[in-house]
């Protein structure tokens, strides 16, 4: 699966509205058709919900937006960083903008929101603050205190209050032998096992980590393999190891090899993502880049010397190049 094919939006870009805790319908999103959910990872099931909302918005002549929540409700109820976030807010917004919709509305998930009954959620959030024209949700969407708001309740509420509701049925993952549902839970399990190819089948695009390039120890440069270093989200539980990657820098794509882990040969420190970009020259410090994981190469390991590490990095780079050539051929 080629990154450029699976994520890039061929249509002309539009002004994307990012609204956080609006008290009234955000400018440009008045009377919107809203796809509602967590959308962590923006996987195939999420995209099906969003595309249904987009089609309805076009039919009604209304803007299309996603309504989502931060922090993730699981983190609110069970404690910060409980959930392995597939797409923190910045990454989620970028993925949604690529889909060509009009905006993303983020509501803070706090005690006040959690205490709203399903009916109060509809009256306060959907009607008073957002003034929605229509709502689209997945078959398993629940809302309100005690998760008592069901898809059936949402449809009935729409009939009472005068907004349209459409519910999207379960979406299966392409390439799944057991008709596995495209879900964030299944994707997290695949990533924790290092199976980034299966995660891509579930998501519909490669898993990625986005962040600002940080200054490091410059060891990679000394070894002849200068790396772009990113600090992952604390919740990230991607398996530590070496991966074939593609990296977006200033809207350009580069192939590369990346290490995600604690660098046992060097310092066994906090988890760090280090990406070596093939055929790139220039200063990346301070830039925001996106590292997309295409294939698993090997687990992280401790080497007896820096020379042994250098030799292995060279071998990893060659293996990554081969994997990426195969990936392009499959695309």
- What is the distance between the alpha carbons of residues 262 and 275, in angstroms, rounded to a whole number? 14
Identify whether the C-beta of residue 316 lies closer than 8 Å to the C-beta of residue 242.
Answer: yes
Torsion of CA 90, 148, 155, 28, to 10 degrees: -30
CA 88 to chain centre: 7
- What is the distance between the alpha carbons of residues 187 and 184, in angstroms, rounded to a whole number? 5
Identify whether the C-beta of residue 96 lies closer than 8 Å to the C-beta of residue 53.
Answer: no
Measured between alpha carbons, how far is residue 23 from residues 19, 55, 67, 130, 131 in Å? Answer: 10, 27, 14, 8, 11
Identify whether the C-beta of residue 206 lies closer than 8 Å to the C-beta of residue 293.
Answer: yes
Identify whether the C-beta of residue 244 lies closer than 8 Å to the C-beta of residue 320.
Answer: yes
- What is the distance between the alpha carbons of residues 219 and 240, in angstroms, rounded to a whole number? 19
- What is the distance between the alpha carbons of residues 138 and 254, in angstroms, rounded to a whole number? 35
Measured between alpha carbons, how far is residue 183 from residues 49, 97, 135, 171, 202 in Å? Answer: 13, 21, 21, 9, 7
Q: Which of the residues are catalytic? A: 274
Per-residue DSSP letter, 251: T
Identify whether the C-beta of residue 256 lies closer than 8 Å to the C-beta of residue 246.
Answer: yes
- What is the distance between the alpha carbons of residues 296 and 236, in angstroms, rounded to a whole number? 17
């Amino acid at each position: 699966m080629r990154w450029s094919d699976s994520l890039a939006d061929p249509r002309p870009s539009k002004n994307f509205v990012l609204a956080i805790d609006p008290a009234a319908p955000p400018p440009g999103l008045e009377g919107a058709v809203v796809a509602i959910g967590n959308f962590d990872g923006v996987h195939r099931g999420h995209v099906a919900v969003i595309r249904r909302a987009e089609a309805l918005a076009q039919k009604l002549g209304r803007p299309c937006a996603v309504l989502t929540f931060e922090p993730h409700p699981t983190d609110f109820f069970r404690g910060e960083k409980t959930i392995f976030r597939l797409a923190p807010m910045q990454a989620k917004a970028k993925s949604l903008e690529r889909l060509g919709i009009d905006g993303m509305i983020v509501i803070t998930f706090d005690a006040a929101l959690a205490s709203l009954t399903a009916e109060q959620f509809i009256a306060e959030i959907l009607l008073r603050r957002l003034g929605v024209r229509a709502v689209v949700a997945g078959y398993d969407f629940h809302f309100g205190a005690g998760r008592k708001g069901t898809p059936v309740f949402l449809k009935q509420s729409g009939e009472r209050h005068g907004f349209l509701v459409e519910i999207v049925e379960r979406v299966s993952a392409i390439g799944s032998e057991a008709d596995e549902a495209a879900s964030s839970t299944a994707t997290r399990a695949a990533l924790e096992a290092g199976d980034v190819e299966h995660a891509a089948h579930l998501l519909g695009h490669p898993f990625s980590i986005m962040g600002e390039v940080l200054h490091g120890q410059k060891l990679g440069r000394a070894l002849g393999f200068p790396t772009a270093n990113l600090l992952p989200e604390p919740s990230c539980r991607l398996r530590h190891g070496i991966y074939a990657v593609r990296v977006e820098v200033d809207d350009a794509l580069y192939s590369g090899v990346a290490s995600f882990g604690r660098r046992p040969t060097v310092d066994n420190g906090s988890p760090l993502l280090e990406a070596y970009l093939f055929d790139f020259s220039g200063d990346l410090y301070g830039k925001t880049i996106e590292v997309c994981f295409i294939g698993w190469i090997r687990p992280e390991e401790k080497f007896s010397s820096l020379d042994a590490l250098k030799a292995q990095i060279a071998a990893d780079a060659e293996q990554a190049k081969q994997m990426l050539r195969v990936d392009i051929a499959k695309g």
